[in-house]
Structure 1
């Protein structure tokens, strides 16, 4: 074995602890980059369209505000009148009750729709077909006039004269109840398909895991499937709630006592139809704005989980 060859040091230079053992590396100064002047793309058409839209909007507002045929003091007079507020309360009650019953029916129909039973699935499909196909106004008129072809609501043994309970239809089927039933039936036809899509969005692995844990179908639906499907169902259900509120105005055809019914009733006395319609429009927009803001924050919170 031979000793390693050490290169001789240059004269006048000594090796110190700070002297690098390898070749000295120097970083060359990076050349200065030229400063770029970035000019954004100008959208001339967008600006022109915005000006046109603003002009049309201001013109419409100005035309309504200065229209001599609209008596605005009447609008402010009836905006908070007791009759209008009572009609608004009835509209909210009709919307809330109809939405609750429609969601319950929709869940039941959706579960029947995806059932392995041909009878249950067929009945659910027929239910959806009927109440999605018949216009809402027809359903409301039909339910509101049940007393024309049914005299009593009876509970007894079918095909016999044995009756346990019998109540006259005219005493039970009030316009308010008819409005709730009609909106619930019509809304459940649409919501059943929404719920069915949400249930089918949960993978089969979740069902298999639930079976492995010993959960039956009911508890699997309650504790595993529905909580996960809530994120999928929330946005369309919020839209359906807003649609239900707007659809509640149609119950005026059966005198449901809602906001529009009260507004039209007042206009039939003072003959100021446009002013009372503006009052109803203001309240509808305010309520829908509150619902939209609530839906936004609820969706945001659900998405964060």
Structure 2
């Protein structure tokens, strides 16, 4: 069941540089779709996750329990199954989404569950004295959230939120399973055309790598910018 068979390894067949360079422009055509899914999905997740975090920490049960259920469901089910439900399942109920729309909705609503827990932890890290001081000054709930709590919690939330985005950027490769023409989808097409899966998939990996490095550098910059006020 877990056996490995090794016969006549040919290292020259593992990666064909010329073939990789020849197909690189075709694979790069998938980069805009990958970035679209990752960035749009993250933005949806940030907005939805913020309000989920507030609902999750609310004293009102009618807000708290639905938020807890949503977060538990999204964190407890595979994102690929969710994408299949959106793209292949909803048409049965008369709702038809394009592959890109299904992927954006899927990644956005799924990432919101993880972002909500990060936001909840970062919001709770702000001392209760801040709330009391705001009430003493006559601030409303939303004024306190916007002007006092959120600016302080953002610094704490940036590192884990950055990790969520990097995971989301790589997870966009799952959109290839519903025919979104992102990087992995392009690599699959090129692999079938060239009959060289190893080269095409390694080339795809080498495209994802600098993208994650770029956003990791952005994360480092944001961390330093917020930490300088300490």
User: TM-score normalized by structure 2?
Assistant: 0.91
CA shift, 1:219, in A, is 1.2
Secondary structure, aligned partner of 1:116: coil
1:75 lines up with 2:28 in the alignment: no
Residue number in structure 1 paired with 2:55: 112
1:137 to 80, 84, 88: 80
Residue deviations 1:214-270 (CA, integer Å, cap 9, x gap): 111111111111100011100000111100001111111111221101110122222
Q: Does structure 2 retain, via aligned residues, the 8 Å contact 1:175–1:257?
A: no
CA shift, 1:69, in A, is 4.7
Q: Does structure 2 retain, via aligned residues, the 8 Å contact 1:255–1:261?
A: yes
Residue number in structure 2 paired with 1:162: none
Secondary structure, aligned partner of 2:30: helix
Secondary structure, aligned partner of 1:70: coil
Q: Does structure 1 retain, via aligned residues, the 8 Å contact 2:14–2:199?
A: no
Residue number in structure 1 paired with 2:39: 96
Secondary structure, aligned partner of 1:115: coil
Query: Rg bigger for which structure?
Result: 1
Which runs of structure 2 are paired with 1:201-240 in the superposition (5 Å)?
A: 201-240=125-164
Residue number in structure 2 paired with 1:128: 71
CA shift, 1:211, in A, is 1.1
> Equivalents in 2 of 1:102, 1:69: separation in Å?
38
Q: Structure 1 142/213 Cα, relative in aligned 2: closer, same or farther at 3 Å? A: same
Greater displacement, 69-78 / 218-227 = 69-78
1:292 to 205, 208, 216: 216
> Equivalents in 1 of 2:54, 2:136: separation in Å?
21
Residue deviations 1:18-65 (CA, integer Å, cap 9, x gap): xxxxxxxxxxxxxxxxxxxxxxxxxxxxxxxxxxxxxxxxxxxxx99x
Q: Show structure 2 runs of 5+ residues with no match.
A: 1-8
Which runs of structure 2 are paired with 1:180-199 in the superposition (5 Å)?
A: 180-199=104-123
> Equivalents in 2 of 1:147, 1:231: separation in Å?
39
Q: Does structure 1 retain, via aligned residues, the 8 Å contact 2:20–2:200?
A: yes
Q: Does structure 2 retain, via aligned residues, the 8 Å contact 1:75–1:276?
A: yes
> Equivalents in 1 of 2:171, 2:31: separation in Å?
14
CA shift, 1:67, in A, is 2.1
User: TM-score normalized by structure 1?
Assistant: 0.70
Which runs of structure 2 are paired with 1:1-305 in the superposition (5 Å)?
A: 67-79=12-24, 81=25, 83-151=26-94, 169-170=95-96, 173-305=97-229
- Structure 1 runs of 4+ with >6 Å offset: none
Q: Show structure 1 runs of 5+ residues with no match.
A: 1-62, 152-168
> Equivalents in 1 of 2:36, 2:76: separation in Å?
26
Secondary structure, aligned partner of 1:67: helix
CA shift, 1:139, in A, is 0.7
Greater RCO, 1 or 2 (C-alpha within 8 Å, sep 6+)? 2
Q: Structure 1 217/69 Cα, relative in aligned 2: closer, same or farther at 3 Å? A: closer
Greater displacement, 177-186 / 139-148 = 139-148
> Equivalents in 1 of 2:126, 2:60: separation in Å?
20
